[in-house]
Amino acid sequence: MLHPVPDSTKRRRLLRVVALQRRLILRLCGLTAGAAVDRSWLEGVWHELPPEWIERFWSLDKGKRAEWIKTLAAASPLDKQRLADICREELRFKVLWQSGGGVTMHKVDWAQKTSKTFSAANSLLKSFYAPLLYDGEGYRLGSETLAKSHYLAGITPAARKVCPYCDNFLQKTELDHFLPKDEFPFLSCHPDNLIPSCPDSNSGSHKGIGVPLDWDAADQAANWFHPRWRSAAGCVCVEIQVTPDRQLSARLLPRATADTERVTNSRPRGVTPCRLTPPALR
């Protein structure tokens, strides 16, 4: 968290993908019961995309996408209203870090048994990231194809030398979903939610899929740094001590008491304070 993550030059391109997701879901939520949805309908929704790209989108995942879309079209008015509300809520996530509240994220039971609406929406939205944003696929946006590697290449190598979660040198760069896509599927492709990180931090062993929010708090993000909007740069210091067994012990401390919880929350899980043995102490 010490190193703020800069924007990619491809940020606006990726926001177009977010707009595609949003438009599709809100159009589906606005349909009356029994309305037919097919590939031609989708071409009307995404009129700016090439029909051949939409045809591939429609048929990928062995036809599951078409089924998810039809499930959403057939959802109850209540489920559609709830889904549209969740869409608008999640896409305001920036407010949590920039305005100290002002929006509340509600935990969603995406796997609920009583309605297929939410699991279909969750699967459909996440499929925009994997496999569509993978390098073998990509989005046809105008004359350009956008994939993960293009997005990452838009952040200069110098600006992504260090993993923002563990501060280790980034030898291999992955994209971590700061707010996990399983819980926040509307943010599966949002550039402000995609953080270049090391494989360990992106995995369950470090930052992983934990939700960096306090669900029950009035200001849910109060105790959390954010790699882009609330970096810990300048907010922490490193305390180094000699332990009784003549080793060096290093730990991260907040400069201000108000950041105590944020520093605690930003430590990689399961990692104990660093211990070093310098030659002079042997």
Rule CB under 5 A: which residues touch Zn ion?
Answer: 163, 165-166, 198, 201
Q: Which is nearer to Zn ion, 139 or 178 (CB)?
A: 178
Q: Which is nearer to Zn ion, 208 or 254 (CB)?
A: 208
Smallest distance, Zn ion to C-beta of residue 201, A: 3
Is the preceding peptide bond at 180 cis, omega within 30 degrees of 0?
no
Smallest distance, Zn ion to C-beta of residue 154, A: 20
What's the 3-state SS for 108-145? CCCCCCCCCHHHHHHHHHHCCCCCCCCCCCCEEECCEE
Smallest distance, Zn ion to C-beta of residue 233, A: 16
> What does the alpha-carbon distance between residue 196 and residue 77 come to, in Å, rounded to a whole number?
39
Q: Which is nearer to Zn ion, 32 or 171 (CB)?
A: 171
Q: For residue 198, give the nearest of 213, 208, 189, 184 by alpha carbon.
A: 208
Q: Are 5 and 270 in contact (CB under 8 A)?
A: no
Angle formed by the axes of helices 117-126 and 11-29, nearest 10° = 160
Q: Are 189 and 139 in contact (CB under 8 A)?
A: no
Q: Which is nearer to Zn ion, 90 or 174 (CB)?
A: 174
Q: Which residues pair with 226 in a beta bridge?
A: 230
| CA angle (175, 178, 183) in 5-degree steps | 110
Q: Which is nearer to Zn ion, 91 or 198 (CB)?
A: 198
Q: Residue 281: what are its φ and ψ, rounded to 5°?
A: -100, -5
Amino acid identity of 198?
C
Q: Which is nearer to Zn ion, 83 or 163 (CB)?
A: 163
Q: For residue 180, give the nearest of 202, 198, 197 by alpha carbon.
A: 202
Q: Are 81 and 29 in contact (CB under 8 A)?
A: yes
Smallest distance, Zn ion to C-beta of residue 169, A: 9
Smallest distance, Zn ion to C-beta of residue 171, A: 10
Smallest distance, Zn ion to C-beta of residue 207, A: 7
Smallest distance, Zn ion to C-beta of residue 278, A: 25
Q: Which is nearer to Zn ion, 154 or 196 (CB)?
A: 196
